[in-house]
Structure 1
Amino acid sequence: MTTTDLAVRPLYEGADWDFDRLHTVFAAIEEVGLKDLGLDIYPNQIEVITSEQMLDAYSSIGMPLLYRHWSFGKHFARDEVLYRKGLRGLAYEIVINSNPCISYIMEENTMTMQALVIAHAAFGHNHFFKNNYLFKQWTDADGILDYLSFAKEYVSRCEERYGLTAVERVLDAAHALMNHGVHRYPRRRALDLRLEEKRQKERREHEERMFNDLWRTVPAKADTFSPFSDRDRRRALLGLPEENILYFLEKRAPRLQSWQRELLRIVRHLSQYFYPQRQTKVMNEGCATYCHYRILGLMHERGLITDGAWLEVLHSHTNVIFQPEFDDPRYGGINPYALGFAMMQDIERIATAPTAEDREWFPDFAGHGDAMAVLRDAWANFRDESFVLQYLSPALIRKLKLFHVQDNAREPTMVVEAIHNERGYREIRKSLARQYDIAWAEADLQIVDVDLSGDRKLVLEHRAMNQVVLDEDDARAVLQHLADLWGYEVVLEEIDSASGARLKKHTVGPRTIIGQATVGA
């Protein structure tokens, strides 16, 4: 049965849903999404869960199959209290970048909301996950579910053997360093997560051999020749500088036991899994929001959903893309749904009905005619920073009333740097794009040296942009976790990226040496 056969009457009426109706609506959405929008997706798996299960998924960073950790329980308790008091709503769905793509939808949703969620997650997000180049480079959709199962089982076995406290101590430290546990450049070959469990024993044996050769030396006297006294040779031996701190600790920390190294590896893989999502929030949500709007809009035009259902879609959709003004108490920055959806619609307009200004700014696709082809190309080949830099148009800048304000803490007043003119459009686009650049927004920390012939002190550098140093309390808290994992003193020097001058120095010693022998080890 096709949507043409069903067009004489709506697929459903009212708010109630059942699995037969859900299956019928899914089939109709699939036909519109694949045929009309040309989406390319992983096979879908739809899971219906309760609000409590949705809260539980919230607490474990959106991964219902993840291992246990006390912080997840804390988040669950907080979110549940806020939800029960009516102070916070819940997401209508959670979607996992896997093959098959798993979408979790709440049983409390109305039939229309289930349709919106399926179009948004099971088709919009699904297409983006499968086709965007960052996800192709950094994630293994085929193996992530098996790896999550392995990780959960491995953490559970460690808890049974070494105790909850010992395991949580490692996970606490690893979570604190999670954002600094990613490789930022493409690796030579894709990582197959399905082989991780099989390779675990082989990897541990090899690394133990390398570890013994590297760390069997003891601190030498001042007048004794040391093979590690040459800084360049020492850095080459240790692979420094290294920005992936968890990777370095997993491979080089002198006191960690093999099971503790494996826990760091698990957290590191999870951090790498989320790395593309941190760089594509605007594009990913914009793609999914545009897809659900287009799919359900076409279904309404063809009589597959009622006017009442379409009004419910518009009500929810408007709430999702709502952008408070800068002086609104609800303002919290630019809503990625709002900006993403606005840019997708603007690209469609430029491709189908361009102005003379559009043809000047976007000669490659203005008047192209096939808006979906242009959008699919953008979804596949850009991340937020480059997407804004390439596609934000003067017309949309005017519509969103964007302008650039220079706020220098060393100056008494703020300065409006760019407005709605030729030069201003380019400056606004450049400044907005920079906000989505991880390299600009996150601290640039690198391990630069280890004192192998002395006290094994670990030395890091922070290349500070515009002389902006790290918050003292946060820096010391994270460095404490790092020192605990390393087992020796850790020094962080903050260096001005422009002049090379040292701005600040932090020194932290281990509070608890995590690698010490534990009961049952």
Structure 2
Amino acid sequence: MSKSAGASDLLFTGSDWTFDTLSRTYDAIKEVALDDLGLDCYPNQLEIISSEQMLDAYSSNGMPLIYQHWSFGKHFVYEEYLYRKGRRGLAYEIVINSNPCIAYLMEENTMALQALVIAHASFGHNHFFKNNYLFRQWTDASAILDYMEFAKGYVSRCEERYGFAAVESILDAAHTLMDQAVFRYRRPPRISSAKEQARVRERLEYEEKIFSDLWRTLPQPRQSEDTTEAEMEAQERKKALNLPEENLLYFLEKNSLILEPWEREILRIVRVVAQYFYPQRQTKVMNEGCATFVHYTIMNMLFDRGKISEGHLLEMLHSHSNVVFQPGFDDPRFSGLNPYAIGFAMMQDIERICTKPTAEDRDWFPEFAGNGDWRGTLLDAWANHRDESFLLQYLSPALIRKMRLFALDDESKEKHYQVASIHNERGYEKIRSSLARSYDIGMNQPNIQVVDVDLLGNRHLRLQHTARDGIVLSESTRDATLRHVRRLWGYDVSLVGVDAEFGNVLYETSTDKFAG
């Protein structure tokens, strides 16, 4: 220890915690986080919960308020089974991107662990939520809890009025399409609980009277033998409907001819929830890396100042090591790169490059190598990147060697893998690009869009899947999902798979083959 600490200097001495100890430790952590690291956070709210409540929070995506659905219960039973059998531990904490930022701490945690997770969640994650550009653009931390309260109450009232089975049916269909229910390229509207209540009242009062009759009174389309004229009509139709549309639930909510107003509102609720979690899916490495680096740095600073004993620091480091453990590729526990491990390693590597750069670092990172300002460099990276761009710009050759990363070519027509990139100048670029691309949601999730629908004709909804690298959708899950789309649309739905590179059709399917 750099300072000899007496018992009176320590924030805590035993394993048990009290609210006074938590408060004193929180204040010390806050001082380091704000004054030494320069973090900018929402106000914090700490909630102490039991292990069963933590399991319950798992099952509902960590939200304290959310509507009921059987999938949450199924998730709860599964997690509880693994936990009781000792095959899976529980998270030390769950943190919610809200204002104030809510962190759930398990009451079973020791005081040392409580300190660790306060630094991790209430300051690391909190700072990232408040400052990263994706969260600033795509979420509204001040409104999400009020909206969730509104959503829970609305779904509950629908169950009372229309029946549990009817509500469950619409939720099942909406949940199936959650991955295709986000705006990726344009900013969604801000949510407001008060505005939602007023808008719902307006929808319930007026839409029931005018929506269905409007479509029944529209004239039938003029039949034309002229192909050019037909194409022009199709272009006008697509322009009027803003096609193609990537957000399937949004399109169905706005344009389905069969949905009742309350069903449209439930679709909106599900897609708002999907949109809320969208930035978290794009920043897993950065978010966890930021929080892990923050807790590691704060705990060591408190130890250096004599606020934490050696024993408690070792306990924290043991938990920290478990979190950032990365099994080798030939380890039975290997399931891919641990986002905590690679995120934390990159944050530490940036600190090293800023303070003790090598000649190689100066060649690769001339803009910040040796600038001495690792705090400012990290704060800038946390604010302005997502996983893909962060890896592409900050993953160093030194860290590639340290983590023994290499790239493989996996061709379905070949019997064996081929090592495509190793640790050389060209290989570093390829490894970094390949790893960054693997964190691009656009590359890993199906690109399915609404491309056409003739509302004045047979109302056939046409979807297109742009397949990358010739990878098509699983037939069983594809057809099952199309049934849910038809349930929401009310008429036949077709899906065509098109190769992204050559534009040729890979497959076609339609609900008319299994209608009824």
Scaled by the length of structure 2, the TM-score of the pair is 0.94
**Residues 1:424 and 2:427 aligned together:** yes
Specify the alignment match of 1:397 in structure 2. 400
1:81-480 → structure 2 map (5 Å cutoff) = 81-187=81-187, 190-192=190-192, 195-202=195-202, 213-214=214-215, 216-217=217-218, 230-480=233-483
* Contact map agreement 1:484 1:510 (CA 8 A) in 2: no
Structure 1 stretches lacking a partner, 5+ long: 514-521
The 1:456/1:157 distance shift into structure 2, 3 A limit, reads same
Matched-pair contact (CA < 8 Å) for 1:37–1:372: yes
C-alpha separation between the residues in 2 aligned to 1:4 and 1:255?
73
1:6·1:304 contact (CA, 8 Å) conserved in 2? no
Partner of 2:500: 497
Contact 1:484–1:511 under 8 Å retained in 2: no
One-letter code aligned to 1:247:
Y
- Provide closer, same or farther for how the CA distance between residues 14 and 123 of structure 1 changes in structure 2, counting only shifts above 3 A: same
Say yes or no: does 1:44 pair with 2:44: yes
Task: Give the SS at the match of 1:230.
Answer: helix
Asked whether the 8 Å contact 1:480–1:509 carries over to 2, the reply is: no
The residue type equivalent to 1:244 in the other structure is: N
- Structure 1: which amino acid aligns with 2:166? A
Distance 2:515 2:121 in 1: 44
Q: Distance in 2 between matches of 1:35 and 1:95?
A: 22
| Structure 1 residue 7: Cα displacement | 9.1
Name structure 2 gaps, 5 residues minimum: none
Q: Distance in 2 between matches of 1:203 and 1:354?
A: 61
Q: Residues of 2 paired with 1:188 and 1:173: CA distance?
A: 22
**Deviation string, structure 1 residues 22-50 (Cα, Å, up to 9, x no partner):** 11110111011111111000000000011
- Alpha-carbon distance change, 471 to 411 in structure 1, aligned in 2, over 3 angstroms: same
Structure 2 match to 1:72:
72
Partner SS state of residue 11, structure 1: coil
Moved more, 254-263 or 85-94: 85-94
Query: Matches of 1:216 and 1:296 in 2, distance apart?
Result: 69
Q: Given that residues 4 and 306 in structure 2 are in contact (C-alpha distance below 8 angstroms), is that contact kept between their aligned partners in structure 1?
A: no
Look up the equivalent residue of 1:166 and give its one-letter code.
Answer: A
Q: Distance in 2 between matches of 1:391 and 1:256?
A: 48
Partner AA of 1:170 in structure 2: I
Range that drifts further, 120-129 or 478-487? 478-487
Asked if structure 2 preserves the Cα contact closer than 8 Å seen for 1:138 and 1:186, the reply is: no
Amino acid across the alignment from 2:218? T
Cα pair distance change 1:202/1:93, threshold 3 Å: same
SS at match of 1:185: coil
CA contact (8 A) 2:224 2:230 kept: no
1:134 aligned counterpart, secondary structure: helix
Q: Percent identity?
A: 59
Distance change (3 Å), C-alpha of 1:194 and 1:311 = farther
1:483/1:510 contact within 8 Å kept: no
Aligned partner of residue 136 in structure 1, secondary structure: helix
Deviation string 1:317-342 (CA, Å, 9 cap, x unpaired) is: 00000001111111100000000000
Q: Which moved more, 1:282-291 or 1:404-413?
A: 404-413
Aligned residue pairs: how many?
Answer: 511
CA deviation string 1:399-446 (max 9, x = no partner): 011111100102233221111111111111000000010111111000
2-side partners of 1:7 and 1:137: how far apart?
Answer: 47
Alpha-carbon distance change, 153 to 352 in structure 1, aligned in 2, over 3 angstroms = same
CA distance in 2, matches of 1:242, 1:322: 41
Contact 2:144 2:191 survives alignment (8 Å): no
Which amino acid counterpart does residue 407 of structure 1 have in structure 2?
D
Quick check: 1:228–1:453 contact (8 Å CA) kept in 2? no
Q: CA deviation at 1:9?
A: 2.0
Could you tell me whether the CA contact under 8 Å between 2:463 and 2:495 is conserved in 1? yes
Return the alpha-carbon distance in structure 1 between the equivalents of residues 167 and 132 of structure 2.
Answer: 35
User: Is the 1:215–1:254 Cα contact (8 Å) retained in structure 2?
Assistant: no
Instruction: Determine helix, strand or coil for the equivalent of 1:467.
Output: coil
Is the counterpart of residue 61 in structure 1 residue 66 in structure 2?
Answer: no
C-alpha separation between the residues in 2 aligned to 1:227 and 1:211? 26
Matched, 1:17 2:17: yes
Relative to structure 1, is the Cα distance of residues 464 and 77 closer, same or farther in structure 2, using a 3 angstrom cutoff?
same
Conserved 8 A contact 1:405-1:417: yes
